[in-house]
Structure 1
Amino acid sequence: MALAKYFGRAATAASQVLNGFDAKDFEGLLNDLVIGIAFDQQACSTEGRASLDLLIRLVARFYPTICLLPAGEEARKLVKSLSSLARSINEGITIARRGSSVLSHCLVVGSTNPEVSCPKFFLGSDGWIAKFSAERPVGTGSSDNTLGAGAAACIAASNLFRQIFREQISGATVDKAVMFSLFDYAPGSHANPPLADTVVLDDLFLLGLGAIGNGAVWALSRVPRLQGQLEVVDGELVDQGNLQRYVLALERDVGQSKVRLARRYLNAQHDLLVEGHSVRWQTLPAVRSMQHVAIALDTAGDRIAVQGTLPLWTINSWTQRGDLGVSHHGFEGEMACLACLYLPNGAVPDEDQVIAEALGLEDQKMDIVRPMLHNGAPISVELLREIARRLTVPVEPLLPFVGQPLRNFYRGAICGGVVFELTAASKPVRVEVPMAFQSAMAGIMLAGEIVKRAAGNAPDWTTAKLNLLRKMPSDVVTELRKKDRLARCICQDADYLNVYRAKYEAQDGGDFAKRSSF
């Protein structure tokens, strides 16, 4: 039994949502758990296999011991592939045999109700609808729509986390029952239309292949009859810290480009043309001609900059402290454009200030931090020794970052949990690191909005958001958001509006108003 190599990143994420976090207690608790995953023949459907796949991808990243509990011959045939997947995510994971360990908790897919004495969490789906119960089986559908199945896995993983750490999460309880439609997010809704005969993506750009982008690609790779063209864009490589919440990434993917990883899964879509761009989105030759954009980027600044390229419409996704969600945006009309949602209110610390403080280099922000962030200069051994001295940590664990840009060091050593582990969690991390189930859920919601938009189903809301650390689905909120009330946004600027209109009216010959409507 072993925690994953990237456990520090998982601990960093957990420390931001758990009260009274203690690194040793946290590690000890996880090592004492045995998470069962039970499933039957019904769970061998397309929807059931999707739930099982994502459950393994979520659970194996965090819990060091799992136990697979198949019921029936068809279910037993899945054990080998599910075990192999778990080991590819954490090579040290223990796959316990039934009866060899006492289960602490059990996740159940399908209609089975295993005779175990631990708390059980039942999950299932029916097309667009995700189901969950803490009391009884909810069954698994037989459709080829796996969006609800993916969401159900995220909801179950969140309830498992809430149950285990219930004394350290303020106001958190386990859901008794959830029936949640990703089609309209309305409380109590049973909206569940069939997928279109074909889902055609009209030269869609997916910007960002981080944790949310991984969730979106996981979902899109399973959408049946997907056609058209998809451009996936990310200039970074997978690092070990990413494995904490990148549901596509396996241990062998460290060092691989994020674009290549995404394309490996999207290759299952034989009728979809996938173009990969291993560059920063700002450097794309086609950046000014992007019309349809799905956004899984990290910063508010990037989102505002994307809106500045004047796409016809954007679908945005996010995770942040307190919620996760998706939003739809045009540029004209009364509703908020993407930039409206991210305009700062009050003073916001800039990146160099945040990084300087995290590295103990506040007095060197102008002389060292800002220039290195600007020109990408490699970090030296001497600078690492100085940072280690200021943070009161040994320098040896930081030496692998020699020669890398300062921003990479910040992401790997601070955000990635290296310093967090070296200080036994005594140095808090300011950057927000969501749990894997939060990022995956945001990505699945993004994929769902892409599919609905491709079918011509524009929403009657601007944002849809939820909090997976709170009761579902009563906390799911959809909102109409108006433009910035202080008229500060580019969508309220006559020059930008004129350029936007000229861009699309020239292309569409007068049909622009219809195409850009929401």
Structure 2
Amino acid sequence: MALARFFERVFRAAGRALVVSRETLETALGSQVVAVQCGAACAAEGNARWIAELLVNLLVRLYPRLAIASELPDVREHLIGIAKSINPAVDVEDATGATVTVVVGSEESSHPNTIYARADGWVARVLFQPSRSPLGPANPYAAAAAAALAAAEVFRRVFRDRLPTQQEPREVSLSLLDFSEEAGAEEPLGPADVGQVVMAGLGAVGNGALWAMGRHASLTGEVWLVDHETVELSNLQRYVLAADSDERAAKVDLADAALRHTGLRRYLCRETLESFAERFREGFTLPTVCVSVDNVPSRRAVQALLPRLVLNGWTGDMSLGASWHEFDREAACLSCLYHPNGPRPSQTDMVAEALGLDPERAGKLWINAEAPEPEELVQMEKHLGLKPGDLSGWRGKPLGDIYTGVICGSVRLDVQGLGRVEVVPLAHQSVLAGALMAAELVKRSTPSLGARSQHQVLTVWEDVLRRPPPAGRWLRDRSREPGCICGDKVYQEVYQRKWRTVATPGDMAPR
């Protein structure tokens, strides 16, 4: 069995839902062969091919043994190439030994444990019987959702006996247009001009959004790609834009490459969101922000910049969702979703508690972006239950980098001192959140689509790993949070004044 180099991260993602040890998970995966069976429709660009490509991309990040079956040799070799680019050591086997089979592209399967994944226009489907209906219009947002939903169903079937919560499987037909079952199923995806958009955070959720956007050839506008980080080994567990060879690549470069076949004009900003916002000396003037950063303060900061429209994609403790926000609507703004209720510890207090440092010392190191002393690294190792020398690679690095890397999970460490298994989303969880966010961007930027879309601001799937998708219960109304900035008269006046006349920023050169 050929485990991926990033398997430790896989364990942190799956281990909590399955309540298993690393060794148990390794054994369980070694007994599974997941098959993708591709029909003739996978030969041409469109939904079937996109679903097959993304499904293999997702599956190989978890399962070390795959079977890829197609009567079209070029299709099979193409998909094997995708799998091996992500995990070069993956075992590609014969489909006859498959545990579960996913059929894409109108083929039927005699395998007793089969899932059929397809997309028709705006509708993503996971079915348990083959459909005789002609395939619907191409739509990469629905195709991405269909692949993620199929991967989620595979996970629940493969690990059914290990999941604490047992629920019967459920077929899914989900319209990304309004979250009914069939809206937009026969509707072609037309050109869309998203205007000026900031993509803030190009991690796993951002990867999912960009994957779908990159296959919308008639997508136009300007996009600012904002992220200061590079791809780490651990990111490969769920970054669908990244192959094994992309370790240490700049995230903005991967994002740029993903959008090269669209009509979007790209601005690459390898910096933090806060640094990017400081460019706008006279006030932030870009109208739309898609945010999928990995921390609450930055999400609240996005809303405080008062863009006209905010799209939010997120994953949580085995959950996922997306939301859209216009500051002057009588509904929750983005900051409402993350509004603190009651006293909360400061960021530096949380850092100090997590790493076992004196709060005053942690505050000084954090604010000044300084590196802890060697003896303080030893102190952290003892607090976290690590072996001596586990943090030696962090010598000379700022405390903020250490906290993000160790506590937020960018490094392969068994952090016993936290008293829990680190919560890391699986790849399909992040991709679906990204696809939902990208679909909202297109809908809210296109008046004819926006008029037919849901009025609720929040889309949520709870307990993604253990429960099937929420039949008819994706949408949530969310009212404003008392004390939030959206109820502040001054903020509302600034927002109204800002969007009566807007100057186009001219201090950033496009790529």
TM-score (norm 1): 0.88
- Residue 3, structure 1, aligned to residue 3, structure 2: yes
Q: Give, in angstroms, the shift of residue 308 of structure 1.
A: 0.9
Q: Give, in angstroms, the shift of residue 250 of structure 1.
A: 1.2
Question: For the structure 1 residues 412 and 299, does the alpha-carbon distance in structure 2 shift closer, same or farther, using more than 3 Å as the test?
Answer: closer
1:452 aligned residue: 443
- Answer yes or no: is the 8 Å Cα contact 2:121–2:189 preserved in 1: no
Greater CA drift, 371-380 or 454-463:
371-380
- Residue 277, structure 1, aligned to residue 273, structure 2: no
Match runs of 1:85-100 below 5 Å:
85-98=82-95
Q: 2:410 aligns with which of 389, 393, 416?
A: 416
Distance in structure 1 (CA, Å) of the matches to 2:418 and 2:333: 41
Distance in structure 1 (CA, Å) of the matches to 2:418 and 2:372: 25
Paired residue type of 2:399: L
Match runs of 1:170-319 below 5 Å:
170-173=164-167, 175-186=169-180, 188-192=181-185, 194-195=187-188, 197-269=190-262, 271-284=263-276, 285-286=279-280, 288-319=284-315
Distance in structure 1 (CA, Å) of the matches to 2:386 and 2:305: 44
Paired residue type of 1:442: A
Q: Which runs of 5+ in 1 are unaligned?
A: 509-518
Distance in structure 2 (CA, Å) of the matches to 1:256 and 1:110: 34
Question: For the structure 1 residues 138 and 193, does the alpha-carbon distance in structure 2 shift closer, same or farther, using more than 3 Å as the test?
Answer: closer
Paired residue type of 2:427: A
- Answer yes or no: is the 8 Å Cα contact 2:123–2:182 preserved in 1: no
Question: For the structure 1 residues 386 and 167, does the alpha-carbon distance in structure 2 shift closer, same or farther, using more than 3 Å as the test?
Answer: same
Distance in structure 1 (CA, Å) of the matches to 2:419 and 2:411: 10
Q: Give, in angstroms, the shift of residue 472 of structure 1.
A: 2.5
Q: Give, in angstroms, the shift of residue 366 of structure 1.
A: 2.5
Distance in structure 1 (CA, Å) of the matches to 2:264 and 2:305: 25
2:430 aligned residue: 439
Match runs of 1:392-407 below 5 Å:
392-407=385-400
Question: For the structure 1 residues 366 and 327, does the alpha-carbon distance in structure 2 shift closer, same or farther, using more than 3 Å as the test?
Answer: same
Distance in structure 1 (CA, Å) of the matches to 2:344 and 2:385: 28
- Residue 160, structure 1, aligned to residue 160, structure 2: no
Paired residue type of 2:26: E
Paired residue type of 2:440: E
Match runs of 1:65-76 below 5 Å:
65-70=65-70, 72-73=71-72, 76=73
Alignment deviations for residues 257-299 of structure 1 (CA, whole Å, 9 cap, x no partner): 1111100111111x22111111111112147112111111222
Q: 1:103 aligns with which of 98, 122, 125?
A: 98
Q: 1:502 aligns with which of 486, 497, 503?
A: 497
Distance in structure 2 (CA, Å) of the matches to 1:388 and 1:134: 49
Provide the secondary structure at the position in 2 that maps to 1:77. Answer: helix
Alignment deviations for residues 280-338 of structure 1 (CA, whole Å, 9 cap, x no partner): 11112147112111111222221211111111121112111253222121112422222
- Answer yes or no: is the 8 Å Cα contact 1:110–1:139 preserved in 2: no
Distance in structure 1 (CA, Å) of the matches to 2:311 and 2:485: 18
Paired residue type of 1:307: Q
Q: How many residues align?
A: 491
Question: For the structure 1 residues 116 and 491, does the alpha-carbon distance in structure 2 shift closer, same or farther, using more than 3 Å as the test?
Answer: closer
Q: 1:80 aligns with which of 70, 77, 81?
A: 77
Question: For the structure 1 residues 344 and 38, does the alpha-carbon distance in structure 2 shift closer, same or farther, using more than 3 Å as the test?
Answer: same
Paired residue type of 1:327: S
Alignment deviations for residues 82-107 of structure 1 (CA, whole Å, 9 cap, x no partner): 112111111221122455xx222222
- Answer yes or no: is the 8 Å Cα contact 1:113–1:137 preserved in 2: no
Distance in structure 2 (CA, Å) of the matches to 1:398 and 1:264: 34
Provide the secondary structure at the position in 2 that maps to 1:297. Answer: coil
Q: Which runs of 5+ in 2 are unaligned?
A: 504-511
Distance in structure 1 (CA, Å) of the matches to 2:395 and 2:168: 45
Q: 1:466 aligns with which of 461, 468, 472?
A: 461
Distance in structure 2 (CA, Å) of the matches to 1:376 and 1:251: 31
Paired residue type of 2:430: S
Question: For the structure 1 residues 345 and 16, does the alpha-carbon distance in structure 2 shift closer, same or farther, using more than 3 Å as the test?
Answer: farther
Q: Give, in angstroms, the shift of residue 344 of structure 1.
A: 1.2
Greater CA drift, 272-281 or 172-181:
172-181
Distance in structure 2 (CA, Å) of the matches to 1:280 and 1:90: 30
Provide the secondary structure at the position in 2 that maps to 1:78. Answer: helix
- Answer yes or no: is the 8 Å Cα contact 1:159–1:174 preserved in 2: no
Q: 2:319 aligns with which of 319, 323, 346?
A: 323
- Residue 26, structure 1, aligned to residue 20, structure 2: no
TM-score (norm 2): 0.89
Provide the secondary structure at the position in 2 that maps to 1:79. Answer: helix
Q: Give, in angstroms, the shift of residue 452 of structure 1.
A: 1.1
- Answer yes or no: is the 8 Å Cα contact 1:8–1:417 preserved in 2: no
**Same amino acid, percent of matched pairs:** 30
Alignment deviations for residues 178-211 of structure 1 (CA, whole Å, 9 cap, x no partner): 111111112x343336345421121111111011
- Residue 64, structure 1, aligned to residue 64, structure 2: yes
- Answer yes or no: is the 8 Å Cα contact 2:203–2:239 preserved in 1: yes
Greater CA drift, 129-138 or 451-460:
129-138
1:511 aligned residue: none
Alignment deviations for residues 217-275 of structure 1 (CA, whole Å, 9 cap, x no partner): 00000113111211111111111111111111111111111111100111111x22111
Question: For the structure 1 residues 275 and 189, does the alpha-carbon distance in structure 2 shift closer, same or farther, using more than 3 Å as the test?
Answer: same
Distance in structure 1 (CA, Å) of the matches to 2:145 and 2:501: 41
- Answer yes or no: is the 8 Å Cα contact 1:125–1:140 preserved in 2: no
Alignment deviations for residues 382-427 of structure 1 (CA, whole Å, 9 cap, x no partner): 433332233333234443333333333334344136222x86x994
- Answer yes or no: is the 8 Å Cα contact 1:134–1:175 preserved in 2: no
Q: Give, in angstroms, the shift of residue 505 of structure 1.
A: 2.1
Provide the secondary structure at the position in 2 that maps to 1:11. Answer: helix
Question: For the structure 1 residues 33 and 313, does the alpha-carbon distance in structure 2 shift closer, same or farther, using more than 3 Å as the test?
Answer: same
Question: For the structure 1 residues 29 and 150, does the alpha-carbon distance in structure 2 shift closer, same or farther, using more than 3 Å as the test?
Answer: same
Distance in structure 1 (CA, Å) of the matches to 2:222 and 2:79: 31
Q: Give, in angstroms, the shift of residue 137 of structure 1.
A: 5.3
Paired residue type of 1:464: T
Provide the secondary structure at the position in 2 that maps to 1:419. Answer: coil
2:13 aligned residue: 13
- Answer yes or no: is the 8 Å Cα contact 2:42–2:75 preserved in 1: no
Provide the secondary structure at the position in 1 that maps to 2:88. Answer: coil
Distance in structure 2 (CA, Å) of the matches to 1:138 and 1:57: 27
Provide the secondary structure at the position in 2 that maps to 1:289. Answer: coil
Runs of 4+ in 1 over 6 A off after TM superposition: none
Q: Give, in angstroms, the shift of residue 9 of structure 1.
A: 1.3
Alignment deviations for residues 339-378 of structure 1 (CA, whole Å, 9 cap, x no partner): 122211234344334444443x1x52322x3333323323
Q: Give, in angstroms, the shift of residue 15 of structure 1.
A: 2.6
